[in-house]
Amino acid sequence: MSSKIKVYRAGEVLLEAECEQGGSVLEFLSSRDIFLDAPCGGRGRCGKCKVRLSPDGEEVKACQTPVTGDDMEIYIPGEMTMKIAGQDAEHSASPTAPTAAPQGAYGVAIEAYGVAIDVGTTTVVAHLTRLSDGKRVATSSGVNAQRPYGADVISRIEYSSAHGHETLSRLIQTQINGLVADNCKKSGVPQENVKYIVIAGNTIMQHLAAGYSPAGMGTVPFEPVSLFGEELPPWEALPAASDAKIYFAPCVSSYVGGDITAGMLTCDFEHDAGPTVFIDIGTNGEISMKLGERYLCCATAAGPAFEGAEITCGMAAVPGAVSHVKWGRELELTILGDGAAAAGICGSGLLDALALLLNTGAVDETGRILDPDEIDHPISAHIGTDEQGKNAFYLSRENNVYLSAADVRKLQLAKAAIAGGIQTLLRTAEVGEDDVKSFILAGGFGSFLDRDSAARIGLFPKAFLPVTRSMGNTAGEGAAIALLSEAARETLGRMRARCEYIELSSSLIFNEQFVEQMMFE
């Protein structure tokens, strides 16, 4: 039995369609390329995919609401516009822009264009670049279209294992097509002049972009289909020259991907004696360390907490998100969006909030939110209880935005995973915290977090603070370098060949450090 469905956004009809009975509203919307934020992958846990079934009706979870045989009206929130690292990097030269026309992949000087693409789990950024001089002529970006299938790579592996990878591959390839076409439209560059594309992402994202199944990376022995570092022909409908090639950055393992090798290229690890620690903090914390000729790498399952997913009032870095928290004479919030009211908390705001609770004594070393009468600080006025009767830190009572005791525990687990990974590399290399000469924060989250807050909660050692640098979208920049230089692509291959991967799940050092790093100072 089919029903007629009307989908509304901002009071306007977005879609009218017929749909057979069965499946959820989230599945219906996703099948029509209308994407809601669903960090838990439609399991009903996060409560982020809220819609209304009438203009003034109560919100319901789209993933738990079935498409019935009756006609339906679905009212969805506005499009997610996320603050994305690297999205404003237009009209600049690549870090290694050549001064003369390159010989390029075709062996002759060409007046052509290429696209460097960072395919992140959360966001995707594409830079259109002139190959003759490295001039970046346009940049387009967006929230990863796979996000309704889960905020983290494990959710997407699980979906691919259960349903096949074709849907997720179609989504990311279609999104890349749109970003490349948008860049060409904005710059006036004919699509047939796009000759070369470089993609950097974690191993799972690169698999899905290449049309490979990531299912083998979800179970022991965690086998990928490919570790890349090679050119592949373009997929169908890619807006590029018919003879264009796609180069995927080399991956080290199933969980240390091309985004990390590209990031190390950006930071010129080949000419860095170290000790240097590099980390891309996301749902999967990927860490590498350069020490002389050695490259040590590991990956920690930090989960999506730092990106606001599966946190009670957590949200992406979109308008309404509390991005920074501090105490002056009273509680002071920085909220994304011009004049927007607090609607939730994004990753950088979560770090600040937890650091503030620790600094004021409102959270103890075990991670417990104290009762108001136990706290000798005016912040006690912001401690209340949540719907479960547990203590919570209210950033905005008016808008019911708070950090719960369960949220603190999730952040505690995530920080212990990251800190434990860093300590495992240091101890494996027999390097002390004070010996590290440079600590590099990469990726979107690394660009926006307050490093003092991060060190205060123990995400990384306080000894790293004097040598900490936020480098932004190093994966996208590394892809841009590789786009312009065959020598750079060879360097990526050499670095990958010298990487020593440490499997944390079987590391006695990590197991010990994870437990130790759970505590707060």
Q: How large is the average pLDDT for residues 31-52?
A: 81
Tens digit of each residue's pLDDT (9 = 90 or more) over 392-416: 999 999 999 999 999 999 999 999 9
CATH numeric code, 113-269+476-484: 3.30.420.480
Under the banding of pLDDT at 50, 70 and 90, the label for residue 83 is: low
Mean model confidence pLDDT for the chain? 89
pLDDT at 82: 54
The identity of residue 311, as a single letter, is: I
Asked if 475 and 262 count as a contact pair (C-beta separation under 8 A), the reply is: yes
Residues 6+ apart with CB under 8 A from 80: 37, 143, 316, 318
pLDDT above 90 covers a percentage of the chain that reads 68
pLDDT at 122: 84
This prediction's pTM = 0.84
Interhelix angle for 405-429 vs 347-359, to 10°?
90
CA distance 116 to 246: 10
Show the tokens assigned to 263. 């990031």
- Alpha-carbon distances of 376 from 195, 297, 359, 370, 371, rounded to whole Å: 64, 43, 11, 11, 11
What are the boundaries of each domain within the chain? 2-76, 113-269+476-484
pLDDT at 165: 97
Residue 299 has pLDDT above 70, yes or no: yes
pLDDT at 251: 97
pLDDT at 86: 57
Show the tokens assigned to 56. 């003034």
Written in H, E and C, the secondary structure of 359-422 is: HCCCECCCCCECCHHHCCCHHHHHEEECCCCCEEEEEECCCCEEEEHHHHHHHHHHHHHHHHHH
CA distance 53 to 56: 8
Residue 344 has pLDDT above 60, yes or no: yes
69 against 27, higher pLDDT: 27
Architecture per CATH, domain 2-76, reads as Roll (3.10)
Residue 107 has pLDDT above 80, yes or no: no
Report the first-to-last Cα separation within the chain, whole angstroms: 60
Q: Which residue from 101, 103, 91 is spatially nearest to 135, judged by alpha carbons?
A: 91
Residue 197 has pLDDT above 50, yes or no: yes
Strands (E), 259-367: 276-280, 285-291, 294-300, 321-327, 331-335, 344-345
